[in-house]
Amino acid sequence: MAYYYSRLDFFCHLCGTMLIVPSSEYAQCSLCKTLQDIQDIRDKEISYTITAEEIRRELGMEIIEEQKVQLSKVNKKCEKCGHDEANFYTRQMRSADEGQTTFYTCTRCGNQSQEN
């Protein structure tokens, strides 16, 4: 996913900071206060692309990969075939102050169910 951004500003030729346009007469560098005639940038446009990866990197975010879970067995009757054994695992699906969700899979027919 990419985000597109365009505006009628350019960068300061002295320090590279993006110019702002405080009046209809000139553009100004917010860092070094250099002025540029508005006629030099009128009707011109810059655009750039920011990717989702760049946003994550800038914010210091990492992609959390799905971890493999170790399944445990429990005596639980299958609603579909009546078998008395199922594999299960738990995950925190809601906020931390609420209980975990338990997921069950019948060891005979593979029917899946869950309990909140």
Q: Which H helix or E strand runs over 71?
A: none
Q: How far is residue 22 from each of residues 6, 9, 30, measured CA to CA in Å?
A: 18, 11, 10
Same domain, 15 and 54: yes
Domain span holding position 84 = 73-115
CATH number for position 92: 2.20.25.10
- Per-residue pLDDT, averaged over 45-49, amounts to 72
What pLDDT sits at residue 9? 53
Same domain, 55 and 82: no
Instruction: Kindly report the backbone phi and psi dihedral angles of residue 95, in degrees, each rounded to the nearest multiple of 5, phi listed first.
Output: -65, 160
Same domain, 18 and 54: yes
For the chain, what is the domain count?
A: 2
What pLDDT sits at residue 1? 42
Lowest mean pLDDT among 23-32, 39-48, 76-85: 39-48
Token look-up 């799905």 returns: 66
Residue 43 placed within a domain: yes
- Cα 90 to the chain's mean position, in Å? 25
Residue 3 placed within a domain: no
What pLDDT sits at residue 18? 83
What pLDDT sits at residue 8? 41
User: Which residues participate in the annotated binding site for Zn(2+)?
Assistant: 12, 15, 29, 32, 78, 81, 106, 109
Of residues 65 and 104, more confidence is placed in 104
Residue 40 placed within a domain: yes
What pLDDT sits at residue 97? 79
User: Which residues participate in the annotated binding site?
Assistant: 12, 15, 29, 32, 78, 81, 106, 109
Same domain, 48 and 21: yes
Q: HEC states along 7-48?
A: ECCCECCCCCCEEECCCCCEEEECCCCCEEEHHHCCCCCEEE
